[in-house]
């Protein structure tokens, strides 16, 4: 009798564990919630017909290196940015830092450390070796959600996702909660780009794996940090860091970083059912030297992409930062501007990486990216400026 129980105990526990993680009944209907940055900018929002293009610097000299900036618009119109900084990527001294862009003074201030590995360890009740990539999400119900990566052992391929929430515009943060994406090993989950919001208030985190294969998926969570569902975006081994552009309640396209050494193109996939299923991914005619890309929609729902227009066949493959616009299909792109290295000098020893775009309600766009891992650069432009590139 005891042997029989032992024989069936493990399979039963596995089945029960899997069932416990599936909470789809209360969240059966899936549709995208169209935030202003998906093209539905409020009609009464302040705008200007004058082309605007300004350059700012978010941060420098606080830590030896900085990387992976993210940001959101606050209720008062100011911007909140966050990034990680330390002596080098993956070091135990790396922490998450933040700053506020004051729209009146047109400057970044209130720089502060938000969270380090010791803070994360206290919240999560586990040893944390290092932390990395943060993303910020401004939820339509008011709070700001922080998703960040942590590692307890080894490298990024064994990482976990964690979530913290602020109910006072990023001034303070509730304790972090580890996202349980599987009842078993629960590792190898990372983030880089913006999340999507669903009509029921759940959040679709654009995540990716780097352990057994490199692929992307949406991790759908609620504000309590409960994982509701997961939607696989790609198969294969070389499609990571998805950036999702929502077009309407059901349709979206995604652009993906190519982590291979032979294709070296941005990948594309699309959904017609709000992210539950995705088309087979395909390579676009857009170069990608295994570097992050970021997509955003303007106020007329055009698709734009920021990327490194280069391959890994040259020595300095991230020494430019380009802007391209797409046709309605999202498959055909035209490069119309270079934010950095406009002459595309291959010998330029520079690295521009990890772009992120914040959209504010007055039709302004705020591009953040890393320069040589030394500082975060901020370029502000508006819809009118984008129109001049067409």
> In three state form, how does the secondary structure of 40-54 look?
CCCCCCCCCCCCCEE
Gap between the terminal Cα atoms of the chain: 76
Percentage of the chain beyond pLDDT 90 is: 78
Give how far Cα 158 sits from Cα of 97, 129, 209, 210, 382, Å: 23, 11, 9, 8, 40
List, in sequence order, every residue forming a beta bridge with 77; answer none if it has no partner: none
pLDDT tens-digit readout, 159-171: 999 999 999 999 9
* Residue 32: φ, ψ to 5°: -75, 140
| pLDDT at position 157 | 76
pLDDT of residue 310: 96
Indicate whether 178 pLDDT > 80: yes
Banded model confidence at residue 34, pLDDT cuts 50, 70, 90: confident
Distance from C-alpha of 336 to C-alpha of 323, rounded to nearest angstrom: 6
Q: Is-contact 338 320, C-beta < 8 A?
A: yes
Domain 51-388 has CATH 2.120.10.10: yes
Residue 35: what pLDDT? 60
Sole residue written with tokens 């679709």: 204
What count of residues does the chain have?
Answer: 390
Least confident range from 119-128, 208-217, 271-280, 363-372: namely 208-217
SS3 of residue 12 by DSSP: helix
Q: Is the dihedral of CA 357, 360, 365, 368 positive or negative?
A: negative
Structure tokens at 300: 């007329």
pLDDT, position 16: 46
- Reference 210, options 290, 283, 116; nearest CA is 290
Question: Are the CB atoms for 32 and 196 separated by under 8 Å?
Answer: yes
Q: CA 108, 109, 113 angle in degrees (round to 5)?
A: 115
Choose from 45-49, 152-156, 235-239 the range with maximum mean pLDDT.
235-239
pTM: 0.90
Residue 44 has pLDDT above 50, yes or no: no
Q: What is the mean pLDDT of residues 122-150?
A: 96
Confidence of residue 382 (pLDDT cuts 50, 70, 90): very high
Rounded distance, CA 339 to CA 75, Å? 29
């Amino acid at each position: 009798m005891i042997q029989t129980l032992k024989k069936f105990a493990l399979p039963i526990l596995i089945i029960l564990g899997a069932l416990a993680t599936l909470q789809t009944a209360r969240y059966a209907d899936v549709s995208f919630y169209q935030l202003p940055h998906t093209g539905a900018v409020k009609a009464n929002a302040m705008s200007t017909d004058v082309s605007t293009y300004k350059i700012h610097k978010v941060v420098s000299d606080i830590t030896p290196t900085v990387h992976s900036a993210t940001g959101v618009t606050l209720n008062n119109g100011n911007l909140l940015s966050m990034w990680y900084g330390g002596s080098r990527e993956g070091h135990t001294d790396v922490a998450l830092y933040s700053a506020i862009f004051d729209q009146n003074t047109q400057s970044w201030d209130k720089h502060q450390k938000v969270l380090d590995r010791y803070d994360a360890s206290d919240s999560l009740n586990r040893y944390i070796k290092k932390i990395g990539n943060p993303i910020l999400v401004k939820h339509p119900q008011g709070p700001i959600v922080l998703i960040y990566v942590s590692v307890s052992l080894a490298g990024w391929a064994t990482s976990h996702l964690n979530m913290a929430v602020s109910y006072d515009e990023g001034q303070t943060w509730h304790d972090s909660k580890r996202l349980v994406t599987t009842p078993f090993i629960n590792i190898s989950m990372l983030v880089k780009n913006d999340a999507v919001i669903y009509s029921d208030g759940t959040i679709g985190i654009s995540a990716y794996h780097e352990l057994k294969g490199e692929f992307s998926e949406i991790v759908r969570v609620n504000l309590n940090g409960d994982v509701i569902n997961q939607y696989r975006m790609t198969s294969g081994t070389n499609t990571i860091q998805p950036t999702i552009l929502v077009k309407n309640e059901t349709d979206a396209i995604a652009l993906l970083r190519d982590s291979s050494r032979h294709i070296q193109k941005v990948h594309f996939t699309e959904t017609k059912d709000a992210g539950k299923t995705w088309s087979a991914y395909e390579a676009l005619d857009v170069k990608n030297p295994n570097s992050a890309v970021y997509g955003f929609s303007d106020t007329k729902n055009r698709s734009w992409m920021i990327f490194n227009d280069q391959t890994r066949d040259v020595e300095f493959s991230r020494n430019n930062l380009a802007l391209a616009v797409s046709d309605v299909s999202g498959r055909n792109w035209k490069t119309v501007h270079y934010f950095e290295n406009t002459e595309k000098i291959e010998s330029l020893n520079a690295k521009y990486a990890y772009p992120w775009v914040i959209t504010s309600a007055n039709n302004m766009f705020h591009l953040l990216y890393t320069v040589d891992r030394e500082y975060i650069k901020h370029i502000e432009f508006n819809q009118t400026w984008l129109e001049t590139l067409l």
